[in-house]
Amino acid sequence: MKIQAKILGFAGLIPFIALNIALFADALPTSLVYILFTQYSAVLLSFFGGIHWYDAISSNKSGHQMYVAMLPTIIGWLCLTQTGAQWVLGVLSISYLLLLFYDKQVLTLPKSIVVEYTKLRMILTTVVVLSHAVMIFAR
């Protein structure tokens, strides 16, 4: 896996961590922190459907993977319509975990890519889920 992918993956954690810090530092109004966190989480979740879209198209698969590729976007959008609802962060967090599990089971990209991708996703998803937990329990 290219170093750029790792750098960009870790850079994608910056808003999660920064918003956690902003919450505890009272740098922004609490309601704004939750809105920004939810928005970023929903947008990032939708990004992860792309790997399944690509995998399904490139391997000429038919069936569930193409449909599952759209779920992160739909879930993210539905969560955005519920901004302020406490359960939204839980839904987003669980979605990241379920998608990681699905990645490990379904992706048919070259083995070396899948192994590296899953290792990176496990690290990133752990930080994302912990960031969600901080937001949930800080409320």
For 101-133, the DSSP string reads HHHHHH--S-HHHHHHHHHHHHHHHHHHHHHHH
CA count, 13 A, side-chain hemisphere, 71:
15
**Rg of the chain (C-alpha set):** 16
Indicate the pTM of the whole model: 0.91
Range of the domain at 53: 3-138
- By the 8 A CB rule, do 95 and 72 touch? yes
List the pLDDT tens digit at each of the 139 positions of the chain.
789 989 999 999 999 999 999 999 999 999 999 999 999 999 999 999 988 888 888 887 667 888 889 999 999 999 999 977 889 999 999 999 999 999 888 888 787 887 888 899 999 999 999 999 999 998 7
- Domain count for the chain, please give it: 1
CB atoms within 10 A of CB 62: 7
User: Cα(33)–Cα(15) distance, rounded to whole angstroms?
Assistant: 10
